[in-house]
Amino acid sequence: MRLRRAPLEDWLRDYYFAAEIDISSSGVQPYSMAELRAKTGLDHNQIDALVFNDGYSLGAPAVRAAIAGRWGDGEPGKVMTTSGSSEAISLVLTALLRPGDEVVVVQPGYHLLVEFAVALGCTIRTWQLHADDGWNASPGELAELVTDRTRAIIVNFPQNPTGASIGEEDLRALVSHAERAGAYILWDAAFADLTYEAPALPDISTLYPRGISFGTFSKAFGLPGLRFGWCVAPPDVLAECVRVRDYTTLHVSPLIELLALRVLENADGFLRPRLKQARHNRDILKEWADANAGQVSLTLPAGGVAGVPRLDRLASTDDFCEQLFRRHGVLVVPGSCFGRPGHIRLGFGGATDELIRGLDRLGGMLRGSVPG
Ligand SMILES: Cc1ncc(COP(=O)(O)O)c(C=O)c1O
């Protein structure tokens, strides 16, 4: 198996740690350990009581039960905990996909969801989202891509990088296309808890027997460095995932699962403040895009905390992003990392004052003069 390089990770590796102002990220403002302890009531004695035993292949029973209760159908046997959702996604794709399988993927999209299937030798059929159409994901187009050879439809709604999502009616249409083909639906639900115009969609695992969802603490929960994620999947698929894990990570650390359980028990205390902040920041982003009309075209994200404005006067934003970082300390992601060179990915989930300063400098550079 040969994986191609991931341009997004290359870019962030080079610039993320040195950025003065980060408006590139796809997650909300991260919490500190002190905030985690305050929100959960976890004290040092409880941490000290932890013994560093090996963990369970599928995850600690209490953690699996908490996830099944919140996102699944209450059945812990369908849950596996992982190191970020990246591990869950790579395990499930490895377990399910074989060379030559047809797989439908959404583009532009997060590299793992596409490139892992490419590296496994699958035949890729692209469900294309278009900027001119407001990144609208049309189930009509999907219908033409699904055949009786389709093994999996891989989606991520709300979506990275566009912030696009689908409604419940389109979700039902998606399920019926998958059902017709007997295909799995692999649903990256990283941003499921970050929606602005409609309530969160039901978890795919509760709607369709071959529906598999992936969750993470890295985006809506503000805990990317904790490296905690999961999938909700049929037990026979999880059994195959364990076979792969037996050769790779074995299990999630009991320390991570201790913290994860406390976060899950207090989930709304983590989610609500950051969703409120993201909603406010999204209004600021909209005002900024309106004020810069003629330079910037933006479809306002329906969910998540990232969007992809087009910089209307640039065919490629690569050099612009490099200069924005070097001269003004502001980090965004060039659209070329997502195959859209005239766009940038802009994250609005962080601290509000940082977003305002970052947008000021970005707007200033677009107009040829930078405030401050
Ligand atoms: C859509 C999407 N899925 C999955 C991931 C992987 O995140 P993690 O492994 O931190 O859960 C990311 C990270 O950026 C993402 O944007």
With vertex at residue 28, the alpha carbon angle to CA 23 and CA 31, rounded to the nearest 5 degrees, is 115
Q: Is 26 in the pocket of ligand 1 (CB under 6 A)?
A: yes
Distance CA 352, CA 282 (A): 10
User: Model confidence over 33-91: pLDDT tens digits?
Assistant: 999 999 999 999 999 999 999 999 999 999 999 999 999 999 999 999 999 999 999 99
**Residue 25 CB–ligand 1 contact under 6 Å:** no
pLDDT score recorded for residue 369: 53
Q: What is the pLDDT of residues 83-114, one digit of tens each?
A: 999 999 999 999 999 999 999 999 999 999 99
Ligand 1 contact via 86 beta carbon (within 6 Å)? yes
Ligand 1 midpoint to CA 86 (Å) = 6
Q: Which of 110, 111, 231, 252 to mutate to test the pocket of ligand 1 (most atoms within 8 A of CB)?
A: 110
pTM over 0.75: yes
Length of the chain: 372
Indicate which atom in ligand 1 lies nearest the CA of residue 159: 1
Using a 6 Å cutoff on CB, does residue 156 contact ligand 1? Answer: yes
Query: Ligand 1 in contact with 76 (CB < 6 A)?
Result: no
**191 C-alpha to center of ligand 1: Å?**
9
Task: Give me the helix-helix angle, 352-367 and 318-328, nearest 10°.
Answer: 120
Using a 6 Å cutoff on CB, does residue 203 contact ligand 1? no
**Computed from CA positions of residues 166, 140, 232, 1, in that sequence, does the dihedral angle turn out positive or negative?**
negative
